[in-house]
């Protein structure tokens, strides 16, 4: 696996070299990455005026996946294939390199230590937001990164879960950055189930990712 570290030339949307950047941190299993992830990342980049969006596959997610899963190497390769050609998307394997259970606070602290001048935005869904208080060090998470919250169409736009974790001023700033998402309802769980039962996954994810899944016989029942 190609290790994509944190020390690299830093260019903004105008391709000029920068010392500080607005970074969207997008964590998850990405097992597999699909068009829903990519559309959301692009909406976050555009609406929050992010310089880059970093896709950070988890080593071991706190909530275990069910059924056959791809390897770490396969998941980072799928992310790299999916975002190839996008000037402002990056694949970051820092949680895979760190190993063990991937906690958001550990990743954010690592990013702060590497580039303290950056402004970080944590891309998080409304469903996950409701559980944020149960995460490890949730208050510190909200201090190190601005939660960039997206809600599924039709769901209530409720940021109340953040009230015990942040000041009223911080909450207003977070509210200003809430994402108006037009998400496509695609699920990695459904994609894995489709592969396992021989159904089509065409047009649910980028073609190179689809081809890799079939070539390497991922998600097959053993």
pTM for this predicted structure? 0.89
Residue 131: count other Cβ atoms within 10 Å of its Cβ: 13
- List the pLDDT tens digit at each of the 222 positions of the chain: 344 444 454 555 655 566 799 999 999 999 999 999 999 999 999 999 999 999 999 998 876 655 678 999 999 999 999 999 999 999 999 999 999 999 999 999 999 999 999 999 999 988 889 899 999 999 999 999 999 998 877 777 789 999 999 999 999 999 998 888 777 789 999 999 999 999 999 999 999 999 999 999 999 876
pLDDT at 112: 97
Query: What's the CA gap between 50 and 42, in Å, rounded?
Result: 10
pLDDT at 179: 87
Which listed CATH number (1.10.10.10, 3.90.950.10, 3.20.20.70, 3.40.50.620) goes with 22-187? 3.40.50.620
Long-range contacts for 186-192 (Cβ within 8 Å, ≥24 apart)? 186/34, 186/35, 186/36, 187/36, 188/29, 188/30, 188/31, 188/32, 188/33, 188/34, 189/65, 189/66, 189/67, 191/32, 191/34, 191/219, 192/31, 192/32, 192/67, 192/68, 192/69, 192/219
Counting DSSP H helices and E strands in the chain, the numbers are 9, 5
pLDDT at 222: 62
> Angle CA(2)–CA(23)–CA(1) in degrees, nearest 5?
10
């Amino acid at each position: 696996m190609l290790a994509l570290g944190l020390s690299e030339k830093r260019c903004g949307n105008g391709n000029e070299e920068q010392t500080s950047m607005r970074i969207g941190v997008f964590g998850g299993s990405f097992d597999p990455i699909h068009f829903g992830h990519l559309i959301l990342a692009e909406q976050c980049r555009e609406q929050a005026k992010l310089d880059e969006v970093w896709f950070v596959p988890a080593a071991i997610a706190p909530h275990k996946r069910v059924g056959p899963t791809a390897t770490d190497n396969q998941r980072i390769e799928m992310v790299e294939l999916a975002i190839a050609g996008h000037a402002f998307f990056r694949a970051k394997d820092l949680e895979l390199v760190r190993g063990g259970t991937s906690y958001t606070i550990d990743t954010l602290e690592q990013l702060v230590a590497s580039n303290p001048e950056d402004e970080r935005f944590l891309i998080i869904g409304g469903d996950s937001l409701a559980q944020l208080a149960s995460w490890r060090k949730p208050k510190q998470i909200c201090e190190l990164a601005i939660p960039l919250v997206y809600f599924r169409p039709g769901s209530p736009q409720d940021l109340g879960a953040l009230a015990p974790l942040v000041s009223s001023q911080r909450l207003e700033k977070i509210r200003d950055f809430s994402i108006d998402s037009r998400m496509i309802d695609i699920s990695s769980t459904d994609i894995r189930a489709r592969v396992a039962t021989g159904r089509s996954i065409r047009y649910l994810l980028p073609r190179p990712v689809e081809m890799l899944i079939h070539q390497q016989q991922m998600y097959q029942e053993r």
